[in-house]
């Protein structure tokens, strides 16, 4: 009886992720190795889960079995001279970087969720982060992968084919191992710059982007600043490498990393991630300000995080924003992915390309069904299960 209750609680916990979309987990499984994952996949449709910090519902189960990757978390090899590491996909980024720091190395892509997110989740969503200006996205740092495809085959993926899995949100295969490029840890300083006008701030961004030492350029708008207890103005967090660490570095970094939590605490829970060319960015910023939507983000690469309240969402503001982003020829999602949340915004041409990729690696739609693209009608009721995992 006790075991049944524990399983039920687990199914409830794993029914959602940081997107707060509710799904349904038929069972949660915690494999420890590749053979166990293959066995699960041979019997079930599965949803793959790293740490569940995804914001588009990619790890939300659709009446299938959740594979929790957290027990595949070992470091297989560190090569200090050639600056690479081979890891299992369930390793948490902060844990990896702590181990690497003993060798003076780090994995440089740093999402704000770095304390908990896994390498597998980062690769699947091609996560960016605070240092996107200098280090780009996760995919740029993947040298090779080991993946289990929808047919249960373990594939060795070399660099040219990494793109078939990195940014595909787990729909083409389960990433089990990754070989990652590393950097030597540089010394860094961080300063908070204040601006009175949007124009002044944007022109500073253009200047700072030209400085080779700048690794991070993060914006917060007036409304967000006030919620953080700062004076009403625009602010840029500017990190430079090769400079001596300042005394308030950790305090400032904590302030930047706590921005979304602060907005969520104040009711602005629905975070978006549109990305635009720099010259179009002010148009979006002005629209957000007119509609009282606070925002922050990776301004150097044109990626903003507007955060909406429930009332603003109900009033249709999110859809209106995406209409504007489309008109400005921007991307609906620069880093969080499509998942369940943004399927309706996916262009037909992109859906077609993704569909072809899905059919190549997972023709029966066994992995992450219903994410990014719909399941074809003829496969819809395949392998339906009851809550005890028995096939109907």
CB of 363 to ligand FAD, least distance (A): 17
Q: Is 17 in the site for ligand FAD (CB under 6 A)?
A: yes
* 51 contacts ligand FAD (rule: CB under 6 A): yes
Judged by beta carbon, residue 57 or residue 240, the one nearer ligand FAD is 57
Q: Does 260 bind ligand FAD (CB under 6 A)?
A: yes
**Is residue 174 close enough to count as binding ligand FAD by CB under 6 A?**
yes
Q: Return the range that interacts with ligand FAD (CB under 6 A); candidates 45-53, 200-208, 232-240, 358-366.
A: 45-53
Report the residue from 58, 108, 302, 330 that binds ligand FAD according to the rule CB under 6 A.
58
Would you count residue 369 as binding ligand FAD (CB under 6 A)? Answer: no
Beta strands at 234-241 and 188-195: parallel, antiparallel or unpaired: antiparallel
Kind of pairing, strands 62-68 and 46-49? parallel
Number of residues that bind ligand FAD (CB under 6 A): 36
**C-beta of 127 vs 236, nearer to ligand FAD:** 127
Residue span 78-107 as binding mask against ligand FAD, x where in contact by CB under 6 A, dash where not: -----------x------------------
41, 105, 124, 216: which one contacts ligand FAD (CB under 6 A)? 124
Give pairs for 148-151: CB < 8 Å, separation 24+: 148/34, 148/37, 148/38, 148/41, 148/173, 148/174, 148/176, 149/173, 149/361, 149/362, 150/41, 150/361, 150/362, 150/363, 150/364, 150/365, 150/366, 150/367, 151/362, 151/363, 151/364
Minimum distance from residue 334 beta carbon to ligand FAD (Å): 8
Among 14, 26, 27, 52, binds ligand FAD (CB under 6 A): 52
Q: Which two tokens stand for residue 46?
A: 């599965």
Distances (CA, A) of 128 to 132, 143, 144, 200, 253: 6, 17, 18, 26, 17
Is 69 a binding residue for ligand FAD by CB under 6 A? The answer is yes
Binding mask 303-342 for ligand FAD (x = CB under 6 A): --------------------------------xx------
Binding window for ligand FAD (CB under 6 A); candidates: 22-30, 121-129, 315-323, 351-359: 121-129
From 54-62, 234-242, 280-288, 345-353, give the range in contact with ligand FAD by CB under 6 A.
54-62
| β-pairing verdict for 234-241 and 75-79 | unpaired
- CA separation, residue 218 to residues 13, 45, 194, 314 (Å): 33, 40, 12, 29
Residues 55, 78, 208, 321: which binds ligand FAD (CB under 6 A)? Answer: 55
Residue with tokens 């200090």: 80
Nearer to ligand FAD, 53 or 189 (CB): 53
| Rounded Cα–Cα distance for residues 69 and 151 (Å) | 19
Compute the distance between CA of residue 129 and CA of residue 109 in angstroms, rounded to an integer: 6
Residues 6+ apart with CB under 8 A from 322: 274, 332, 345
Strand segments (E) across 70-208? 75-79, 84-88, 105-106, 142-148, 154-158, 174-181, 183-184, 188-195
125 contacts ligand FAD (rule: CB under 6 A): yes
Using the structure block, give the residue that is written with the tokens 């010259």.
279
Which residues would be at the binding site for ligand FAD (CB under 6 A)?
Answer: 17-18, 48-55, 58-59, 69, 89, 111-113, 117-118, 120-122, 124-125, 127-129, 169-170, 174-175, 260, 335-336, 368, 371
């Amino acid at each position: 009886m006790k075991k049944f209750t524990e399983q039920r609680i687990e199914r409830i916990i794993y029914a959602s992720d940081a997107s707060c979309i509710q799904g349904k987990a038929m069972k949660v499984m915690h494999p420890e190795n590749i053979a166990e994952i293959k066995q699960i996949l041979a019997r079930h449709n599965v949803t793959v889960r790293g740490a569940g910090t995804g914001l588009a519902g990619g790890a939300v189960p659709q009446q299938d079995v959740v594979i929790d990757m957290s027990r595949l978390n070992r470091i297989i090899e560190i090569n200090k001279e050639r600056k690479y590491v081979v890891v299992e996909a369930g390793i948490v980024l902060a844990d990896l970087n702590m181990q690497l720091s003993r060798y003076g190395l780090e994995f440089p892509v740093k999402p704000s969720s770095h304390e908990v997110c896994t390498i597998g989740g980062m690769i699947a969503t091609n996560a960016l982060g605070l240092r996107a200006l200098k280090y780009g996205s996760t995919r740029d740092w993947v040298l090779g992968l080991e993946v289990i495809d929808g047919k249960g085959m373990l594939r060795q993926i070399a660099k040219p084919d990494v793109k078939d899995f990195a940014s595909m949100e787990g729909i083409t295969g389960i990433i089990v191992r990754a070989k990652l490029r590393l950097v030597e840890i540089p010394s860094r300083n961080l300063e908070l710059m204040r601006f009175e006008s949007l124009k002044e701030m944007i022109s500073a961004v253009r200047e700072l982007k030209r400085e080779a030492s700048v690794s991070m350029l993060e914006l917060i708008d007036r409304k967000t600043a006030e919620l953080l207890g700062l004076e009403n103005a625009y602010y840029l967090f500017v990190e430079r490498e090769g400079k001596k660490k300042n005394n308030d570095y950790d305090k400032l970094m904590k302030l930047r990393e706590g921005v979304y939590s602060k907005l969520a605490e104040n009711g602005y829970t629905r975070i978006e991630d549109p990305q635009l060319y720099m010259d179009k960015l002010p148009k979006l910023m002005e629209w957000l300000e007119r509609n009282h939507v606070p925002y922050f983000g990776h301004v150097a690469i044109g990626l903003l995080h507007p955060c909406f309240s429930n009332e603003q969402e109900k009033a249709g503001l999110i859809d209106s924003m995406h209409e504007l982003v489309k008109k400005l020829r921007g991307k609906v999602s620069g880093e969080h992915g499509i998942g369940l949340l943004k399927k309706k915004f996916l262009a037909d041409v992109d859906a077609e390309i993704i569909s072809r990729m899905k059919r190549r690696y997972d023709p029966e739609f066994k992995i992450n069904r219903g994410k990014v693209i719909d399941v074809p009608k003829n496969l819809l009721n395949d392998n339906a299960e009851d809550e005890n995992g028995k096939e109907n």
